[in-house]
Amino acid sequence: MKEIINTNNAPKAIGPYSQAVECNGFIFTSGQIPLTPQGEIINADIKNQVKQCLENLKAILESAQSSMKNVLKTTVYLSDMNNFSDMNEVYGEYFPSDFSPARSAVEVSCLPKNVLVEIEAIAFKEN
């Protein structure tokens, strides 16, 4: 059975989609851009934008009785692959090597609200 996940601890969706969907113990998040829970864009460097995206993912997962350690797969969208190293540095703070998920990182021509990064995740729910 499908359950819609929403929390006030992460920004509201900026379109016709949910923050996340849970089905059969798996949580699929929508891509998170560097918006605060109040909907303000973090217009800072890539490191601060990555941090906000990951904080949003963390809040969504926790609201669904999961956590960052339960993330199985992420996809990182970068507006400039030259930001890969800086993104990786912050990303590693949230996903230490002992439980790093599988990941894809791709450069895209443009992201919503012209941000530098968007990150989505698939996780499992705590039992």
The conformation of residue 9, written as its DSSP 8-state character, comes to T
Average pLDDT estimate for 19-40: 97
Which of 4, 3, 28 shows the shortest CA–CA distance to 18?
4
Largest CA distance in the chain: 41
Amino acid at 62: E
pLDDT, tens digit, for every residue of 89-115? 999 999 988 879 999 999 999 999 999
Predicted confidence at residue 53, as pLDDT, reads 98
The domain of 13 spans: 2-124
Q: Which two three-digit tokens encode residue 24? A: 């059969």
E-strand ranges in the chain read 2-5, 20-23, 26-29, 71-78, 102-107, 117-124
pLDDT, tens digit, for every residue of 1-29? 899 999 999 999 989 999 999 999 999 99
CA distances from 100 to 18, 71, 123 (A): 25, 8, 12
Predicted confidence at residue 111, as pLDDT, reads 97
65: left (phi over 0), alpha (psi -120 to 50) or beta: left
Predicted confidence at residue 115, as pLDDT, reads 97
Domain of residue 95, CATH code: 3.30.1330.40
Predicted confidence at residue 22, as pLDDT, reads 97
CA distance 54 to 84: 15
Predicted confidence at residue 106, as pLDDT, reads 98
Residue 45 CB coordination number (10 Å): 11
